[in-house]
Structure 1
Amino acid sequence: MNKRILGGRTSRPGRWPWQCSLQSEPSGHICGCVLIAKRWVLTVAHCFEGRENAAVWKVVFGISNLDHPSGFMQTRLVKTIILHPRYNRAVVDYDISIVELDEDINETSYVRPVCLPSKDQLVRPDTYCYITGWGHMGNKSKMVPFKLQEGEVRIISLEQCQSYFDMKTITSRMLCAGYESGTVDSCMGDSGGPLVCEQPAGRWTLFGLTSWGSVCFSKVLGPGVYSNVSHFIEWIERQIYIHTFLLN
């Protein structure tokens, strides 16, 4: 159920400095992830299904081309994986997890945290936001680009989103974005990657994590479905507090 950007374009190195690559050996890149603090990363819970052992994972930052490490790249091992306790694999609800790194990242112009929304902060339908990740170039291409891709998507109301998915329930823990034609969406390699919206004063804020959605390479392409980060802010803050001050 990994998801990949469809219909995107190559992004400029350093434009999305919170984007990271969640990797395991020997597979390499498995999922996207997002830096939210010097030692903390968000991704989706389903990336860790059957692979919850922190020792097999690492996180790579400051990388644009997966095939060509840059001088801006930083790598950290994973210390702790915190899955949301209500994550439901069957319906892909509460699809969020927090990753604690083994040591702080060094903040640079190529590696720095994204802003988080306030609790239950809403992003209005018809707002244009960006998704990023490494993925297929389009529905006629089976190629997986090594360079980070970006795509602009439109936020869609939950009611409109539900109309595309007869067999799934769209909940308040989800956010939908894309285009009805499906020309820009995330489909099968970028699970866990960010959906960010520009707020006043140029603050890019993380509103979604790529979770699931339309089936790529089919004629019926609907919106992508993202974990609604603002719904989970209290849980995120509580887990970071517990693991920083109570368990260490």
Structure 2
Amino acid sequence: MMRLVVLVALIGLTFAKVPFDPNAHNERVIGGYDAPPNYWKWQISLQKNLYDDGYHYHICGGSLIGASYVVTAAHCISSLDATLYRVVAGEHNIYEYSGTEQIIGVERITVHPDWNQDLAKGYDIALLKLATPASGSASVDLVNLPYPHQMLPHGYTCYITGWGLIQSFPSAAPDVLQQSPIQVVEHSVCSTWEWWGSNALKTMICAGGDGVISGCQGDSGGPLNCDTDGVWRLHGVVSYGPAGECNQYSKPTVFTRVSSYLDWINSVS
């Protein structure tokens, strides 16, 4: 069985140590391209003080679903000490300060109670309560949630966004938020042995698998943005992908299906 890997990465931020080659930042989410500045207004960078060195590092993405709440992946949370984390909303170039950013501490972390660190079992979702509410602006806004148990048809085009690696070998990370259209692979296809087999649950969404476009390390926790009913909705949270090259044919990026967890989200937020 193919090994699953989380799509977490450590990327140094402005005034931080940069662990990737800065000359490699002119590539493109894998197969993507630069997003327009502050178009995906709910996209946040989840950052952690990893080494008690005064620096915060981008580890995952996330989405603002309320002024005080961010949804991300459970596997992004390696410690429940909320003081280690911060959220940056209104971010575009992760290595530059433009004045649109809102840097907000985290007050409380709630990981889904059934998460057991086994990606194939699902429940890869967590909520962060912010220490102070995010302020709505031209660069920061909330994302709509899907309808309960809403499922999208095979081939439906959504967008994946994030600051994850833009190539696996050698590793290269972008400075600017990346975006790419990505097509949904319905469960009946993704759960076949040629694809993800029994690792793909109905509480997950598969998207991609064309060998070109995929999420990668650093995109974990970020959104699968889908325009339904004329509004952008958060249909997925980046969960896992294949070991090795991220953009493998028939091994799409797998997202936690948000519509399966609305009752839990509402009970927490």
Same-fold call, TM cutoff 0.5: yes
Distance 1:219 1:36, change over 3 A: closer
Which stretches of structure 1, 4 residues or more, deviate above 4 A after TM superposition?
Answer: none
**Unmatched segments (≥5 aa) in structure 1:** 241-248
Match of 1:165 in 2: 196
The 2-side partners of 1:45 and 1:161 are apart by 22
Going from structure 1 to structure 2, the CA distance change for 1:139 and 1:22 (only over 3 Å counts) comes to closer
Q: How does 1:165-204 map to 2 (within 5 A)?
A: 165-166=196-197, 168-179=198-209, 181-201=210-230, 203-204=231-232
CA distances 1:65-110 after superposition (whole Å, capped 9, x unpaired) = 1100111110110000000000131235100000000111110121
1:68, 1:141 → 2: CA distance? 24
The one-letter code of the counterpart of 2:241 is G
Contact 1:3 1:211 in 2 (8 A): no
2:16 maps to none
Match of 2:265 in 1: 236
- Higher mean alpha-carbon deviation, 156-165 vs 184-193, is at 156-165
Q: Which amino acid aligns with 2:133?
A: D
TM-score, with structure 2 as normaliser: 0.83
Who is 2:182 aligned against? Answer: 153
Matched residue, 1:98: 127
2:47 maps to 1:23: yes
Q: What is the correspondence of 1:1-248 to structure 2 with a 5 Å cutoff?
A: 1-3=6-8, 5-25=29-49, 26-49=55-78, 51-90=79-118, 91-139=120-168, 142-163=171-192, 164-166=195-197, 168-179=198-209, 181-201=210-230, 203-217=231-245, 220-221=248-249, 222-240=251-269
CA distance, structure 2, for counterparts of residue 133 and residue 126 of structure 1: 21
Kindly indicate whether the alpha-carbon contact (under 8 Å) linking 1:21 and 1:61 is maintained by their aligned counterparts in 2. yes
Q: Which runs of 5+ in 2 are unaligned?
A: 1-5, 10-28, 50-54
- CA-based RMSD: 1.7
TM-score, normalised relative to structure 1: 0.90
TM superposition shift of 1:219: 8.2
- 1:2 counterpart letter in structure 2: L
